[in-house]
Amino acid sequence: MTKPRVAILGLGLMGTGMAGRVLTAGFPLAVYNRNPEKTAPFAKAGAYVARTPRDAAARSDIIISMLADDNASRAVWLDKETGTLAAAAPGTWLVESSTASVQWIHELAAAAKQKECELLDAPVTGSKPQAAAGELLFLVGGSTEALAAVRPVLAVMSRDIVHLGPTGSGATLKLINNFLCGVQAASLAEAMSLLTASGLDREKSVAILAAGAPGSPLLKVLTTRAAANDFTPNFVLRLMAKDLTYAREEGARRGVAMNTAAPAIADFEKAIAAGYADQDFSAIIPALQKP
């Protein structure tokens, strides 16, 4: 059977790995990135480099976006001149894998329906290494029909695909997931600051914390990166601040007080102000140790 034509919009830390997996699996691929320099390796490997999201949509059966936030997603999908939906043919399957607000997902799904297309919200867990290795976990909201249509493409990028329910379900769980990660990272950074201020042996203390009840996989990764002073981004710090903000907003919309979100956001904003915005979010640890 002929493989569906795929477009991937956004070649950041995640989109680059995802596009590489799709191309390696033999799907006809179109790529778009705001900075065209990132498309060069894909052009050499045989992908079509689209001038605009609309250009990519015009030659695709399945369109996947992996972008920074609601604003970037809105521009790619809905711009009247260059946006994807302006050229998507009826019946095109749309996949929003960005970590976005639930309200935006519902708005985008409605816009897709007007174009006789169907949207899946399918954000992922995992970061840069998992994207490159095809080991992402897709959290999917939308219809079973749409998921069946795009599953072969998602499968080459993932270790598993979990259908959580109707539109918005994937986006909701992704925000909950990142809320937990962000709050834990902020609390770890505060704990490390107290540890340092107390004059405790850092290496011994971290070893005890990592081996004890607080020693989650995330804590171990963050403390290892901090010890190595390696903040090369796998997950960009400013995006964690964004995700925490979206999670708090979703809680407010549903009448749930996300009380630990506000101080965590404040910690991440301090790190951003200190110049760590585009480093890995583990950089919140040294950021909070500066006066």
User: What residues are paired with 93 via a beta bridge?
Assistant: 62, 118
The catalytically annotated residue of 38, 115, 128, 174 is 174
Rounded to whole angstroms, the Cα distance separating 91 from 93 reads 6
Instruction: Determine the residue type at 26.
Output: G
What are the DSSP calls for 72-128, one per residue? Answer: HHHHHHH-TTT-GGGTPPTT-EEEE-S---HHHHHHHHHHHHHTT-EEEE--EE--H
Rounded to whole angstroms, the Cα distance separating 253 from 232 reads 35
Q: Count CB atoms within 10 A of the CB of residue 229.
A: 8
Among left, alpha and beta (phi > 0; psi -120 to 50; other), residue 165 is left
Pairing assessment for the beta strands 124-125 and 118-121 based on DSSP bridges: unpaired
User: Does residue 174 have an active-site annotation?
Assistant: yes
Instruction: Determine the residue type at 266.
Output: A
Answer whether 111's CB lies under 8 Å from 104's CB: no
- Catalytic residue numbers read 174
